[in-house]
Structure 1
Amino acid sequence: MSIKYQDYAFVRNKLLKKEEVALLDIREEDPHAQEHPLFAANFPLSRLEVDAFSKLPRKDVPIVTLDDGEGSAELAAQRLLELGYLDVSVFKGGIPAWKAAGGEVFKDVNVPSKSFGEFVESKRHTPSLSAQEVKKLIDDQEDVVVVDVRRFDEYNTMSIPTGISVPGAELVLRVPEIAPNPKTKIIVNCAGRTRSIIGTQSLINAGIPNEVNALRNGTIGWTLAGQELDKGQSRKFKEVSESTASEAAKRARSVADQAGVKRVKLADIAQWKSQAERTTYFFDPRTPEEYEAGHLPGFRSTPGGQLVQETEMVAPVRGARIVLSDPGGVRANMPASWLAQMAWDVYVIDDIKATDLTEKGVWTPALPSTPQIQTVDVKTASSWLESDSATICIDLSTHANYVKGHIPGSWFALRSQFSNAMKNLPTANRLVLTSTTGELAIFAANEIQALTGSAVYVLDGGNKAWIDAGLTLERGATHLASPPLDRYKRPYEGTSVDPAAMQAYLDWEYGLVEQLGKDGTHHFWVL
């Protein structure tokens, strides 16, 4: 299959006309985060088969693959064509060509959402208080509630003293019972700026009677002020009464209507699932626990606050249609109001009943058919690794998962960097490939076999099968055959970050509105 090429004018024209286009940066996350176009979604070559069918549901959507100009974009395009995609091109010349044509490039990750947050604050002058002002309110035991809108695991790692975990899409539903007295001041925090701006503005837009302020610069600002963060906290929102939920639903519906969110009946979306003319994403923005207890068939669990924060990670086709499902309404309507302002074509289903939530359990992506490979069961692999020094295990999981726990003695390697990784691996007659649940290893096996004379096997069930068999794990970054390029180290993650890096991150966020103006393709607007 011959590869087509496209240029800056083609991509820009698609974006300006709000036509569907998937501009896929196929590099690993760290190089992607160094510089990329505004709407280039990170779509690593390493995970292409695992992600393609769920993130690119329409086979004839226009796809343009992008790299540094080193040739990986051609390989990604070839793989997508082999998976049945019909309109695949390569951005000729990669990032250097984009810049040479006058294209703006952005640093960091989730840039469309972060720049939108700054855009919102610039237009609405979202109220905020400094870390010092918030600490004084807490120390003086003022009537104040701090709500942390990040994922619970982020909150649990480090949080503002007294803070309660209330992920973003839950705010309008939960805050009325967390702070029932309208005189209670509400402080909304995240790690940096975006989620606290959106969260604060959500409560204001919904007409909550309390005074609401963002914690300016989030946990970064708190740390830069020399103030201590709590660690390991587990305070969470509680369930709310029917009357509170009903009132919140009215507020959220009003905001969504003002933002131009469209309405659809459950029966009407069946034809959209065939993906004939439009790419449509079906998302459930409730908590993962509620989703697993019962959800609409074919809907993906995407908690609403993170959906607004990381839209391109689950919806890389710019110009696509997004459908949100929440029987109570609030968790669909509030994220939908923001997605509409981010120029997405967004719909909320209005007539969902409990009996419609017929699927249970976690979301599982659709995958291509399994290639012909050699597999090995856990028991045999364990005996090989114990008794045969010429057998080595190679873990293709994310670096973060590898560090959390891996098969003892196994080596971390990135599929996209495997030809270089081989120089760091010990000599072996037999390679056992594994990954978190096995899928990545399955799709990488034949490619790796072509690079080595060693026999290549895939561990059936991956690391999960190893754990389920009761076998021990090793932890830490013990054997790295590849650098951990698959994860960009966010300046707001963890508890030991260089203050200079935190300040540089804030300075970058402040400059995003100006960059948006230079780029000119976003179509953002604000209520």
Structure 2
Amino acid sequence: MTFVKEFSTQSFENVRRALLARAEIALLDVREEFLHARSHPLFAANLPLSRLELDAPLRLPRRDVPIVVMDDGEGLAQRAAERLSQLGYTSIALLEGGLKGWARAGGELFKDVNVPSKAFGELVESERHTPSLDAAQVQALLDREADVVVLDARRFDEYQTMNIPGSVNVPGAELVLRARQLAPNPATRIIVNCAGRTRSIIGAQSLINAGVPNPVASLRDGTIGWTLAGQPLAHGSTRRFDPRVDDAIRLAAATAARDVADRAHVGRTSRDEARRWADEAVRSVYRFDVRTPDEYEAGHVPGFRSAPGGQLVQETEMFATVRGARVILADNDGVRANMTASWLAQMNVEVYVVDGLTGADFSEKGPAPAPRFAVTPPDVEEISPAGLLTLLQARGTVVLDLTASANYVKRHIPGAWFAIRSQLGEAVRKLPDAERYVVTCGSSLLARFAAPELAALTGKPVQVLAGGTAAWIAADLPLESGETRLASPRIDRYPRPYEGSDNAREAMSAYLEWEHGLVAQLGRDGTHGFHVI
């Protein structure tokens, strides 16, 4: 007989009360991202059950933080609560009635991902009337070679996928620091774009808030609007900002950014106080370095994690999952942390910027260390890529790949089946008969957690591919691609309508219509506490 641990429940009213009081709460939607994107409360952060051991220690840094877990009646919330309890979290409850209970109680439900940030962006445009130009107007400026620069505020990989011809990649937090150097003539028009709307609006308004003298506008509806207008996009472009900044420009930008932060009531702190707050563990504390990933790896303040400022504002609930937590930002120029903090403060986040940092403080190099409560994976039996290759030459071995579905479709071990860990019970019923199983993923880490679960489900021997599919690829062994064998549906990721130019026009138009409706949804929800300076 299987023992099911009982957890208390939290009502919609209690969760709403905590949000309005700015109390700490982690409202977790433990479904896969595709299902999360179909419907969820505004501040429900997506933390799928399938990756809980890997992601919870990073995203939930305090073990006694109040956690409310939800699903849509699939039973995932109960399983997630049990697993969180095993990981050492002590204040766990289930959302009363799950998603349907939230709706029955009168709670507003939102679609898509990163909704708090997108809704906030729409509110900013609504209240500040951020200037914008449509695709035809921008194309006309470019056609007549007007004095104009187009700055793409997305990540570099997004920019490379598709961009406005002639544009320069300047991710959001870099704009105020770099704009005066990219457009030294105050008469030069600056146009900021992203794929949709949010980063265009926030980027353009950042420049306006910081007093950049140039005329500034966002590209209305981003590359979606550009595509719907029938205008061609470039692909594979490599134009990026020059990392060097003139001292006079940096000083002017820093002065302006500090003024914006002060107007937004951003808190100030020191390196030692920030470290003490994190060590005390009486509050959930996130410490982020908002510079570029390359700068972070070259040297960062110990204890700070990389979160480029533009993405932190765009994906706030993914970085700082606990609503009501304390967020601390650092940079080495006085611009990027202050501008990023100014937006987080307006999003009702308790945010501080570290003052007084010197070059010596950025002493730790390389990627961020493991989080404080990193989970040790279970001991498993491993098999080398060469050993697996030998096994596959005979019958009886089934390979199960738990990587992201997009990675699986791109390339996987010939004959491997794709599955989502949280769906293993359903997936094994679709697999062929096997004498043994070999589990893999990109690095083997997730596979190590899944191997004992698969063994319990099947009663068969289970091994883990040492080094994961990355080791198989490094050994120059055969690969195949495509949606060849899907034991689980591809629900691990929501396909964004703004990620490519080959999406259906109807989906792009529907996405833009949804974004335009977010301000009204914010009003009906009433829990956000956003304010716009």
- What TM-score, normalized by structure 1, do the two folds share? 0.98
Secondary structure in 1 matching 2:345: helix
CA deviations on 1:314-350 (whole Å, 9 max, x unpaired) are 2110000111110112121111100000000001111
Secondary structure in 2 matching 1:424: coil
CA deviations on 1:443-468 (whole Å, 9 max, x unpaired) are 12222222112211112221222233
Indicate the residue corresponding to 1:369 in structure 2.
376
User: Is the 2:43–2:116 contact (alpha carbons within 8 Å) kept by the matching residues of 1?
Assistant: yes
Higher alpha-carbon deviation: 23-32 or 371-380: 371-380
Indicate the residue corresponding to 2:265 in structure 1.
260
In 1, distance between residues paired with 2:505 and 2:321?
33
In 2, distance between residues paired with 1:465 and 1:300?
27
Q: Which residue of the other structure, out of 50, 57, 60, is the alignment partner of 1:56?
A: 60
In 2, distance between residues paired with 1:275 and 1:60?
13
Q: Which residue of the other structure, out of 68, 71, 76, is the alignment partner of 2:75?
A: 71
In 2, distance between residues paired with 1:187 and 1:8?
42
Matched, 1:151 2:155: yes
User: Is the 1:67–1:95 contact (alpha carbons within 8 Å) kept by the matching residues of 2?
Assistant: yes
In 1, distance between residues paired with 2:417 and 2:370?
27
In 2, distance between residues paired with 1:275 and 1:471?
49
Secondary structure in 2 matching 1:89: strand
In 2, distance between residues paired with 1:252 and 1:404?
42
CA deviations on 1:374-414 (whole Å, 9 max, x unpaired) are 222333223222x2321121111111222232222211110
Following superposition, the deviation at residue 259 of structure 1 comes to 0.7
In 2, distance between residues paired with 1:284 and 1:402?
32
Indicate the residue corresponding to 1:126 in structure 2.
130
The share of aligned pairs that are identical, in percent, is 58
Amino acid in structure 2 at the alignment position of 1:48: L
Matched, 1:292 2:319: no
Indicate the residue corresponding to 1:424 in structure 2.
430
Secondary structure in 2 matching 1:466: helix
Following superposition, the deviation at residue 63 of structure 1 comes to 0.2
Indicate the residue corresponding to 2:144 in structure 1.
140
User: Is the 1:26–1:44 contact (alpha carbons within 8 Å) kept by the matching residues of 2?
Assistant: yes
Change (3 A) 1:374 1:275: farther
Amino acid in structure 2 at the alignment position of 1:290: E
In 2, distance between residues paired with 1:46 and 1:23?
17
Secondary structure in 1 matching 2:429: helix
Indicate the residue corresponding to 1:237 in structure 2.
241
Q: Which residue of the other structure, out of 304, 316, 320, is the alignment partner of 2:321?
A: 316
Indicate the residue corresponding to 1:399 in structure 2.
405
CA deviations on 1:268-315 (whole Å, 9 max, x unpaired) are 122222252110011111111111111112211111101100011121
1:502-513 residue pairs with structure 2 within 5 A?
502-513=508-519
In 2, distance between residues paired with 1:364 and 1:452?
36
In 2, distance between residues paired with 1:243 and 1:472?
55
In 2, distance between residues paired with 1:486 and 1:122?
33
1:314-353 residue pairs with structure 2 within 5 A?
314-353=319-358
In 1, distance between residues paired with 2:454 and 2:172?
42
How big is the alpha-carbon RMSD for the aligned residues of Structure 1 and Structure 2?
1.2
CA deviations on 1:40-82 (whole Å, 9 max, x unpaired) are 0000000000001110000100001000022110000000001
Matched, 1:15 2:19: yes
Secondary structure in 1 matching 2:458: coil
Q: Which residue of the other structure, out of 201, 204, 208, is the alignment partner of 1:204?
A: 208
Secondary structure in 1 matching 2:255: helix
CA deviations on 1:107-151 (whole Å, 9 max, x unpaired) are 000000000000101110000001110000000100000000011
User: Is the 1:294–1:357 contact (alpha carbons within 8 Å) kept by the matching residues of 2?
Assistant: yes
CA deviations on 1:480-499 (whole Å, 9 max, x unpaired) are 11111011011111120111
Indicate the residue corresponding to 1:490 in structure 2.
496
Indicate the residue corresponding to 1:443 in structure 2.
449
User: Is the 1:127–1:214 contact (alpha carbons within 8 Å) kept by the matching residues of 2?
Assistant: yes
User: Is the 1:57–1:275 contact (alpha carbons within 8 Å) kept by the matching residues of 2?
Assistant: no
In 2, distance between residues paired with 1:468 and 1:273?
39
Following superposition, the deviation at residue 94 of structure 1 comes to 0.9
Amino acid in structure 2 at the alignment position of 1:320: A
Indicate the residue corresponding to 1:357 in structure 2.
362
Change (3 A) 1:100 1:275: farther
Matched, 1:456 2:462: yes
CA deviations on 1:197-252 (whole Å, 9 max, x unpaired) are 00000000000000000000000111111111111111100022222222211111
Secondary structure in 2 matching 1:270: helix
Matched, 1:47 2:54: no
Amino acid in structure 2 at the alignment position of 1:337: S
In 1, distance between residues paired with 2:179 and 2:497?
29
Higher alpha-carbon deviation: 444-453 or 180-189: 444-453
CA deviations on 1:2-24 (whole Å, 9 max, x unpaired) are 32211111111100111000000
1:381-396 residue pairs with structure 2 within 5 A?
381-385=388-392, 387-396=393-402
Structure 2: runs of 5 or more not aligned = none
Higher alpha-carbon deviation: 170-179 or 402-411: 402-411
User: Is the 2:224–2:501 contact (alpha carbons within 8 Å) kept by the matching residues of 1?
Assistant: no
In 1, distance between residues paired with 2:395 and 2:174?
53
Indicate the residue corresponding to 1:522 in structure 2.
528
In 2, distance between residues paired with 1:37 and 1:407?
38
Indicate the residue corresponding to 2:180 in structure 1.
176
Q: Which residue of the other structure, out of 416, 436, 461, is the alignment partner of 1:410?
A: 416
Q: Which residue of the other structure, out of 254, 278, 289, is the alignment partner of 1:273?
A: 278
Following superposition, the deviation at residue 358 of structure 1 comes to 2.0
Following superposition, the deviation at residue 253 of structure 1 comes to 1.2
Indicate the residue corresponding to 1:107 in structure 2.
111
Amino acid in structure 2 at the alignment position of 1:514: A
Change (3 A) 1:162 1:30: same
- What TM-score, normalized by structure 2, do the two folds share? 0.97
In 2, distance between residues paired with 1:522 and 1:441?
38
User: Is the 1:50–1:365 contact (alpha carbons within 8 Å) kept by the matching residues of 2?
Assistant: no
In 1, distance between residues paired with 2:356 and 2:384?
47
Secondary structure in 2 matching 1:392: strand
In 2, distance between residues paired with 1:189 and 1:313?
22
Amino acid in structure 2 at the alignment position of 1:475: S
Following superposition, the deviation at residue 476 of structure 1 comes to 2.6
Q: Which residue of the other structure, out of 449, 473, 487, is the alignment partner of 2:479?
A: 473
CA deviations on 1:177-196 (whole Å, 9 max, x unpaired) are 11100000000000111000
How many residue pairs get matched? 526
In 2, distance between residues paired with 1:290 and 1:198?
23
In 2, distance between residues paired with 1:242 and 1:381?
57
Amino acid in structure 2 at the alignment position of 1:339: L
Structure 1: runs of 5 or more not aligned = none
